[in-house]
Amino acid sequence: EYIDSYFFNKLELTRFSSSVGKFVGFTEYGVGNAEYWNNNPSYLSAMKAQKEVYCLNHVPVYYSNALTKS
């Protein structure tokens, strides 16, 4: 799962989760940002593609390292 969170002063404003597939806002400012980013299809599809870029390419590396240390 790919998660991209945005914080200000230790308060989470907005979060993108690949399992949800969209941004979710937690404050008034974060909800506004989430609506703006969710209405931009190119930015939303780019965030969904980040799961393949970061997660799927690195899982075998971390998994093999965990097996060799156990």
Write down all domains in the chain, each with its CATH number in brackets. 3-68 (3.10.320.10)
Tell me what pLDDT residue 69 has.
62
Tell me what pLDDT residue 25 has.
97
Torsion over CA: 46, 51, 54, 56 (sign):
negative
The answer to whether the predicted template modeling score (pTM) of the entire model surpasses 0.85 is: no
Summarised one tens digit per residue, pLDDT across range 33-61 is: 999 999 999 999 999 888 888 777 766 76
Least confident among 1-10, 16-25, 31-40, 60-69: 60-69
Question: Could you give the CA distance from residue 23 to residue 15 in angstroms, rounded to a whole number?
Answer: 6
